[in-house]
Amino acid sequence: MQTNALHWPDGARLAVLITVMFESWSEGKAPPYSPMTTPLKPGTVDRLGSSWASYGGKTGIWRIMRVLEECGIRGTICVSGRSVELFPEAVTELHKKGHELAAHSYTQDTILPYLTAEEEREVICKCGRIFEKALGLKPVGWFSPVAASTEHTLNFLAEEGFLWHGDYNDTDLAYPIKTPRGTLVAVPHSDFTDNRVLRGSPRDFYQIYRDTFDFLYRNEENGMINLTVHAHFGGRPLMSAMLAKVLRYMKGFPHIWFARHDEVAKWVLRTSQ
């Protein structure tokens, strides 16, 4: 698909998608990365790592909500099923503010290629049940932990009525992808998420997204940027400051469509027929 194959609504020159990863791990598990430079021995319970990860639901997601509200932007929040269970107030508030809530497996250590096909199907269905119980509706978007899907994932998502799938990096733009159970939209993942600067300068995050925005805005009509942060890192002041700064910069330009993933997916399906 060529870069100019899509034409955004209302003559928008560029689509900007804000993706927030709102993640949780299993009890006793922690992210395999952190700002700490000395890893613990394998098999050791990483209490600091677990504490660092839980910041997302306790504090980070609320700050990101404030940043997005101040900028007048609705984003897509990819939520672990366990995050819905652990932080129902945050999930409910995100929904009230008009953000899309997408499924992000049950926990971050529930990685699909490590499961049997039936286990994978059950995880997808389980997330749907958790969302429906908490919000009264099922998610229409899915993003796998570490963007790792299997040969079964797409068909399982189609069977469950999903609209879009985010485990793609083969092109710059969203595109329709057919299955025996219907058509979904593949949404390319970000090339540079906030955790790339864990041990560097948060300003790199701002500069990279500003440079990318400037390049696409000046040189390619109908481009798309997927800007991604994690609630447990991007929601910390050092990163939220950069998120706010780059969003304010982008808001200063005309003809920008700040879109949720489901809005992009519906537009792609409508215009590709």
In this prediction, residue 5 carries a pLDDT of 67
On whether the CB atoms of residues 67 and 243 are closer than 8 A, the answer is: yes
In this prediction, residue 205 carries a pLDDT of 98
On whether the CB atoms of residues 234 and 63 are closer than 8 A, the answer is: no
Distances in Å between the Cα of 203 and the Cα atoms of 51, 165, 170, 247 are: 25, 30, 27, 13
Percent over 90 (pLDDT), the chain: 90
pLDDT at 3 over 80: no
- Cα–Cα distance between 139 and 22 in angstroms, integer? 14
Cβ within 8 Å of residue 113, ≥6 positions away: 148, 149, 150
Average pLDDT over residues 252-269: 98
Alpha-helical segments (H) within the chain? 47-55, 61-71, 81-86, 88-96, 117-135, 153-159, 202-219, 231-234, 237-251, 261-271
Between 2-16, 51-65, 100-114, the lowest mean confidence (pLDDT) is in 2-16
Domains in the chain (CATH in brackets) are 9-27+45-271 (3.20.20.370)
pLDDT at 4 over 60: no
pLDDT at 55 over 60: yes
What token pair was written down for 77? 């929040």
The model's confidence at residue 40, banded by pLDDT at 50, 70 and 90, is confident
Q: What are phi and psi of 121, to 5 degrees?
A: -60, -45
Residue written as token pair 């098999």: 43
On whether the CB atoms of residues 107 and 84 are closer than 8 A, the answer is: no
- Cα–Cα distance between 144 and 27 in angstroms, integer? 19
The per-residue pLDDT for range 156-185, each reduced to its tens digit, is 999 999 999 999 999 999 999 999 999 999
Q: Which of 37, 18, 88, 27 is nearest to 230 (CA)?
A: 18
The per-residue pLDDT for range 105-151, each reduced to its tens digit, is 999 999 999 999 999 999 999 999 999 999 999 999 999 999 999 99
The per-residue pLDDT for range 208-249, each reduced to its tens digit, is 999 999 999 999 989 999 999 999 999 999 999 999 999 999
- Cα–Cα distance between 250 and 246 in angstroms, integer? 6
Strand-pairing partners, residue 256, are 14
Cβ within 8 Å of residue 171, ≥6 positions away: 1, 188
Report the chain's C-alpha Rg in angstroms: 18
The model's confidence at residue 57, banded by pLDDT at 50, 70 and 90, is very high
Residue written as token pair 């949404």: 187
Q: Which of 193, 21, 209 is nearest to 99 (CA)?
A: 21
Q: Is 11 exposed, middle or buried (0-12, 13-18, 19+ CB in 10 A)?
A: exposed
Residue 194 C-beta-side C-alpha neighbours within 13 Å: 27
pLDDT at 48 over 70: yes
